[in-house]
Amino acid sequence: MKINESEFEGRVVMVTGAAGGIGQAMAEAFAARGATVILTDRSDAVQATAENLGSRHRAYVMDVCDEAGIIETVRSAESALGRIDVLINNAGIGVLAPAESLSAEIWDRHMDVNLKGAFLVARAVAPGMLERGYGRIVNIASQAAVIGIEGHVAYCASKAGLLGMTKCMALEWAPRGVTVNAISPTVVETDLALVGWAGEKGERARAAIPTRRFAQPWEIAAAACFLSGEGAAMVNGENMLVDGGYTVI
Ligand SMILES: NC(=O)c1ccc[n+]([C@@H]2O[C@H](COP(=O)([O-])OP(=O)(O)OC[C@H]3O[C@@H](n4cnc5c(N)ncnc54)[C@H](O)[C@@H]3O)[C@@H](O)[C@H]2O)c1
């Protein structure tokens, strides 16, 4: 895919959950388009991911459930780089179990990471964006936000909540220059997803998607770049499904 290497020149982009998987692909995509990227993750593997991207990028170990740590990270990143223009709320977890046996603790964990975590990071980053009158926030939801998937009760609920949060923030912040959107991918071929969707289960799932395949991490990153770019200034409160058409049938 041909990209514009200066599209995000001068922009500072923060990505949560950037140590690997889709978050790493997001960081690589924005870096390749000229942005300076702040990679954050609860895992210190994020340091190596950032080093591989190049010296202008920064890494912070940050747990999206730790409000004080988030505020400290945002303050430190803003004072080092001047501002944060784009936030990609990507950190997330998914633990599968039948609804009747999923523990309350696992339920709470999904809400804490996938929903409240995104809220806390957006709330920490937004004041600077609102003050400067410019910002882009992209929340990574899932096709599970708009359909039921067996074994995904807490995951579906947390991602559906993320869409509600996206719409409210979009209403409140767009008048002051900050758009807020979501992306809802189908299964994305990260190392972890490939383990869960291996063999015949994966073949059946691919066959049910009109494009007959899962998504690649770079395709989710490309959608995030679109929503964060100048061409998407009128896209606000949207949930962009990147699911090969799975949810239209
Ligand atoms: N892979 C898929 O098939 C798929 C499909 C739809 C949506 N998604 C969503 O995309 C996002 C990324 O998924 P992925 O497949 O790359 O997963 P992944 O497990 O490979 O990466 C998630 C990252 O988030 C980090 N993380 C988890 N909890 C955290 C916390 N409390 N604080 C900070 N970081 C934390 C992890 O350390 C990890 O690096 C998630 O929100 C996921 O729900 C993934």
Ligand 1 atom having least distance to the Cα of 112: 31
pLDDT tens for 124-164 read 999 999 999 999 999 999 999 999 999 999 999 999 999 99
Quick one: DSSP state of residue 225? H
Would you say residue 196 lies in a domain? no
Would you say residue 24 lies in a domain? yes
Q: What is the pLDDT of residue 162?
A: 99
Is residue 69 within 6 Å of ligand 1 at its C-beta?
no
Across the chain, what does the average pLDDT equal? 97
Q: Which residue has the tokens 């289960």?
A: 201
Is residue 50 within 6 Å of ligand 1 at its C-beta?
no
Is residue 90 within 6 Å of ligand 1 at its C-beta?
yes
Q: Are strands 58-61 and 36-41 parallel, antiparallel or unpaired?
A: parallel
Asked if 215 and 188 touch (Cβ cutoff 8 Å), the reply is yes
Would you say residue 2 lies in a domain? no
* Ligand 1 mutation pick, 40, 93, 146, max ligand atoms within 8 A of CB: 93
Reference 112, options 135, 98, 92, 137; nearest CA is 92
93, 99, 102, 108 alpha-carbon torsion, rounded to 10°: 50
Would you say residue 102 lies in a domain? yes
- Between CA 29 and CA 222 the distance in angstroms is 7
Would you say residue 244 lies in a domain? no
Query: b/e per residue, 206-245, with b = 16+ CB within 10 A?
Result: beebeeeebbebbbbbbbbbebbbeebeeebbbbbbbbbe
Instruction: Return the H-helix or E-strand segment holding 36.
Output: strand 36-41
Q: Which residues contact 17 (CB under 8 A, 6 or more apart)?
A: 23, 40, 41, 64, 90, 91, 92
Query: What's the structural domain count of the chain?
Result: 1
pLDDT tens for 220-249 read 999 999 999 999 999 999 999 999 999 996
Is residue 22 within 6 Å of ligand 1 at its C-beta?
yes
Q: What is the pLDDT of residue 193?
A: 87
238, 191, 86, 67 alpha-carbon torsion, rounded to 10°: 100
Is residue 43 within 6 Å of ligand 1 at its C-beta?
yes
Our answer to whether residue 134 is catalytic in this structure is: no
Would you say residue 101 lies in a domain? yes
Ligand 1 atom having least distance to the Cα of 23: 16
Cα(175) to centroid of ligand 1, in Å?
A: 30
Is residue 140 within 6 Å of ligand 1 at its C-beta?
yes
* Domain CATH for 137: 3.40.50.720
Would you say residue 134 lies in a domain? yes
Q: Are strands 86-89 and 135-140 parallel, antiparallel or unpaired?
A: parallel
Cα(198) to centroid of ligand 1, in Å?
A: 18
* Ligand 1 mutation pick, 46, 62, 90, 152, max ligand atoms within 8 A of CB: 90
Asked if 39 and 49 touch (Cβ cutoff 8 Å), the reply is yes
Q: What is the pLDDT of residue 123?
A: 98
Q: Which residues contact 107 (CB under 8 A, 6 or more apart)?
A: 153, 154, 157
Would you say residue 179 lies in a domain? yes
Domain that residue 69 falls in: 12-188+216-239
Ligand 1 atom having least distance to the Cα of 46: 39
Is residue 23 within 6 Å of ligand 1 at its C-beta?
yes
- Backbone φ/ψ region at 8: left (φ over 0), alpha (ψ -120 to 50), beta: alpha
- Between CA 180 and CA 139 the distance in angstroms is 8
Q: Measuring from atom 40 of ligand 1, which residue has the nearest CA?
A: 92
Write out residues in the chain with pLDDT < 50, as ranges. Answer: none
